[in-house]
A and B are shown apart, each in its own frame.
Chain A
Amino acid sequence: MAKQLGMVIDANACIDCKGCMVACKVANQVPGDNWRNWIKDGAMDRSAKSKKRMVFQPGNCMQCDKPTCVTACPTGATYKSKADGVVMINRDLCIGCGQCIKACPYGARYRNEKLKVADKCDFCSNRREVGLEPACVSTCPTKARAFGDLNDPSSPAGKLYAAQKEEAVQVVNAQSDTDPNIYYLGAPGDKHWPVKAQMPSAFTFWKNVADPGVKVLMGLMGVGVLAMLGKQLVMKNDAPEEHHGEDGHE
C-alpha cells in the first residue's frame, strides 16, 4: 500500500504548553509571526462536579488526500508527494500569489514573511531526511502526537490508527472535505473552526478541465515562468536568510 505519512493525535493529552510550536518554529526557521502549527483552546467548563476536561487540540497541515491547496495553486509549486503523501511546496516555483492560503480549510498555510512564498508544515522534511522525527512529535511532553505511515501498522501513527480506527476522527468542514490525514483520538476538542475552502475563480477552468499533470506543465512553461520572473523583479528579500538574524553569531 502506498505510504501516507500522517498523525494520530491524542488531544486529551495536550496540556497546551506550546512546546510543539516553538520546536517547529526553530526547526523550520519559521519567521516572525508565522506559525506552521497550532493548539486550539477548548471552552471553559466552570462546573466543579463531573466537569469535562478541557481539550486542547494540536494541529498542523493535514496533508490531505484531496488537497484544495494543490488544486488552487496556479504554478504547480504545491503538490502531493508520491513518495510519502506529504503535501509539499516547491519554493522555486511558488510565486507567492496566496491562492493556496485561501484554499486551505484549516488555515494551515501562510505567506512566509522572509521568503515571500507560501509555506506550511511538511512534517519536517529536513529533519526526516537526516533521520529525525518531526520536531513537534519528538519534543511533546505528553507525547500527544503519534507520527508515521498510516498504512503501516508498525509505525507509531499506523499502529494507533489500526488499533483505534473506531475512535479516531478527522476534523473536516463538510463543504470542503479534503480527506485529511490527521486523526484525533477520544475527545478531539473544537470542531467548528475549519472553514470552506476559497477556491480562486480564475483557475476554476483548470480545476475542472485540465489534468493536474498538464497544469503543472502549463504552470512551468507559461504562467509559472512569467510569474517567477515577475516575482523576482518586484519582490526583494526572497533569498533564504540566515537563521538567527542580525548580530547573532559573529
Chain B
Amino acid sequence: MLKRILMVLLVLSFIGVGLGVSLAADGKGNSRKGKYLYRKNCRTCHVENGKAKELSPVSKTQAQWKTTFADPKKLPCAGEWAKLSDKDLTDIYAYLWGHAKDSPSPAKCK
C-alpha cells in the first residue's frame, strides 16, 4: 500500500501541470471507445471489492464528472491518468459524462 502511494507521488511529481484535459466540448469524444477504455483502464481498480471505490457513470452527476476531469491531479490515481492520451481521456469523459446520473441516458450497468 505504502509502495503504491509512493509510486503515485513519484509519478505525480513528474507530470505536474498539463494534465487537466480540455473538455470544453462536453461529450464530444467517442463515448463507445470511452466505455472500452474506461473498462480497460479504470475498472481494473474501480470495481466491487476492488482496490478503489466502485465507480460507474451514474456514480456522479455531469457537473461532478466535469470537476473530476478538470483537475485530476488531486486523485489518488492521477498517475494512471498520465498514461492515457488526451484523446483517450476525452473518450472516457464522453462516456462517463454522457451516461452520468443526471444525463439523458444514465448507464444501466457497469
Judge A-B direct contact (beta carbons within 8 Å). no
